Structure 1
Amino acid sequence: MTKMNPEEIFKAALAENRKHLSLLEAFEVIESYGLPLARYIYIKEGDEIKDIRDLSFPVVLKADSPDIVHKTELGAVKANIRSLDELKTAISQMRQKILEKNPAVKIRGYIVQEQVSNAHEVIIGGLNDEQFGPVVAFGLGGIFVEILKDVVFDIAPITIAQAQELILKIKGYQILEGYRGLPKANIKLLAEVLSKASQMFAENAKYIKEMDLNPTFVSSEWVKIADARFALK
């Protein structure tokens, strides 16, 4: 099957009066811009999984549905899956749990993704501001964004140099220099990803209300986007 380009993906979703892209659609938009995703494979609903190809255990399982916005609430994400049998069981249990909680959910398939570790967790986001238009956001992930609200903003798109400046502005920047055994974050590479993500958001701002690339992981050698949400206008 030929993959659609980002504009086609957004238009198709809006034509169905949807408020969000599915996870696979979000990943396809991200990949089309050359942004780094944590490695994954896709299993269509109803297909049997026989192997995980170039992935290795443990893996993370996520349900793919345009009807699921917050996966944790519906039991649509499970980490630390350590074998093929465990993965098959997890898919079956996840399907059952989701449909018990909301029978109207249309499950398209499942994302099986590498489980990222030993890296800093950050958030790259975007929102359409009534006054400023497309705005890119950056912050530390986990409790830092939930409790400390350590997030900074700039008008999108931003250059790599502007992205580096934005990263330096967060209160917890020192954490990215190395914290509790975590490696020093590759700020140059992170700035490149942040700049490219801001470009992606700005170019598709007429379709997107909010963008959330969360979590995004960064180590001394790589950046990997592990999850994504696009809320549509």
Structure 2
Amino acid sequence: MENTFKLSPVIPIYMNVVRLENVSKIYEGNVKTIALNNINLSIEEGEFLAILGPSGSGKSTLLSIIGVLDRPTEGKVYIYNMDVTKLNDSEVSKIRNEYIGFVFQNFNLIPRLSVLQNVELPLVARGLPKRKREEIAINALKLVGLEGLIRKKPTELSGGQQQRVAIARALAQNPKIVLADEPTGNLDSTNAKIVMNIFKKINEELKTTIVVVTHDKEVASYARRKIYIRDGKIVGEEK
């Protein structure tokens, strides 16, 4: 399948697209919480990685650090060899928008917008003309098998279909990395398999780096590498 998304500039190939060095995240309050404790992690270009752990283990915090949605209290975070911990918020936002797509458990679709409009949404901020936005969005929806539902509203779709729209929205940005936080958490087993096969297809055909956070070992089985996190620490790895 030809990759029809051409928004991002050509990026030199590096062995690691993400690298975390001695990363800790500490939340201060009435009770000090160490969400991440001295994490070292490298993610290779084109990798399909699953981060496994129980509730409260720190896996979602780790995904937020990888996706530069949050900053570490200590340590370094590199995206394509750029030390994002040294950048200001505007520069970090630019890197996030340029390289990273997000898929969340609750879909985060806007109910009043159509499927097509939801997928187009990240492209509006880029100032693309309407015809180009529609072309990119429809191509993304074809990848997830929903090109026939472009005029529907999210409330008219099943949970599995809504999550596929959310994946298409992430793909419309032509990300180099897609981060998914419990993407099957609200889905039945049939729709979970459909969604995970889409991630597998994206990884294999578009060579997009995929990182999925999950507590479900069956979901994690789609990944080629798994890391296990508990109490803010990486406690195991499986390939």
TM-score, with normalisation over the residues of structure 1? 0.30
Question: Normalization by structure 2: what TM-score?
Answer: 0.29
Bigger relative CO (Cα 8 Å, ≥ 6 apart): 2
